[in-house]
A = this chain, B = another copy of it.
Amino acid sequence: MVPFPADLTPPDCAFASDNAAGAHPKILEAVIAANSGHELAYGDDPHTRRCEALFAELFGAPVRTLLTFNGTGANVLALATALGPSQGVLCTGWSHIAVDETGAPERVLGVKLIDVPAADAKLTPGDVAAQAQHFGVMHHVQPGVVSVTQSTELGTVYTPEEIGEICEVAHGLGMLVHLDGARIANAVAAHGQGVESLRAMTIGAGVDVVSFGGTKNGFLGGEAVVICNPDLVRWAPYLRKQVTQLPSKMRFVAAQFNAALTDGLWLETADHANQMARYLYDSVRKLPGIGFDAPPAVNAVFPCLPDQIIDPLREWCFFWDWDRLRSQVRWMTAWDTTPVDVDRFVAGVRHFLA
């Protein structure tokens, strides 16, 4: 192994994933502040009640919010609230629920996922409309829920109009729409109109239930299932416990969201991560030997690199492969990535490319 040049300092924050980052100081402070005295468990506490109020305010609608532990759990719970008997879930072949959750939806819900190909990880209204062919065929699961991811697993973003069209087609067919928003903050930040963007791509578009991510956006850990369609509320509390996602000391999940939803912190952190990805992209896009399919819409860039530099570069500063066949990797920024981190990393990339 060739030693790394002494003057090549790796960044403090690597580019492995946004869930490699820790918690934002304000979020940690909120947890500390919530750790005072006794509060009833399972959500019967003022922090959780405040959290529910903040989500209703954020969405500008009487949504019902259920806090959960992690993204897989939030997705499983959200789908559980929306699925009817013998119904399946339409999603893309890239979707996290289909490929990165170890079959949790199948196991916990007994549900079939109908995954369709999508080069950019985005469903189209046509994909939804095409499901109508299965209605009434007793040998097929009945398409019941459309699940879109925003931002997607490929770092692409739906416009609110695109989501609205999917919802319109879905609702016209009697289907409901779930939005997996593990990185919804990054998508909202990318759209640029702040809370209005959030409302436009959820309530405004007609989404029925949202998995609203916190963990990847500077939390210790915590996600929210935001139910926009009041028909889905009734059984949700029981389902949450049944799918093992009821936090006992819920105040500590609530406190994190309460901090994030105060003064727009949730958007600020996501926007920062997005900007760092753009800065990273701009810093390397013209380097010889590096290629991109597209500029980053959110907080990940997907460069193709000369194959022989991937492992040495990773050895120096860790990141994950994306598509090794194309020598494509993923560099992901987080709420705490700094321009200095980017500069140092770019220096390393230049070094190994040279």
Give A102 to B137 CA distance when docked, in angstroms.
Answer: 9
| Residue pair B86, A242 in contact (C-beta under 8 Å) | yes
| Residue pair A244, B104 in contact (C-beta under 8 Å) | yes
| Residue pair B72, A246 in contact (C-beta under 8 Å) | yes
Give A112 to B242 CA distance when docked, in angstroms.
Answer: 11
| Residue pair A241, B38 in contact (C-beta under 8 Å) | no
Whether A287 sits at the interface, judged by CB under 8 Å, is no
Partner of A241, one of B39, B139, B221: B139
Whether A316 sits at the interface, judged by CB under 8 Å, is no
Which one of A21-29, A50-58, A155-163 is at the B interface? A21-29
**Please, which residue of chain B has its CB at the minimum distance from the CB of A38?**
B20
Give A294 to B327 CA distance when docked, in angstroms.
Answer: 39
Given A23-B35, A100-B139, answer yes or no on A249-B235 (Cβ-Cβ < 8 Å). no
Q: Which of A136-163 contact B (CB under 8 A)?
A: 138-142
Which one of A8-16, A303-311, A345-353 is at the B interface? A8-16
Given A86-B239, A238-B141, A242-B141, answer yes or no on A13-B38 (Cβ-Cβ < 8 Å). yes
Q: Which residues of A contact B (CB under 8 A)?
A: 12-14, 16-17, 19-23, 28, 31-32, 34-42, 69-73, 76, 80-81, 83-86, 88, 99-104, 106-108, 110-112, 138-142, 215-216, 219-221, 235, 237-249, 251-253, 318, 334, 336
Known: A13-B37, A108-B108. 12 other contacts (CB 8 A): A23-B252, A31-B31, A38-B334, A72-B244, A102-B242, A103-B242, A104-B242, A107-B243, A108-B242, A138-B238, A142-B235, A216-B248
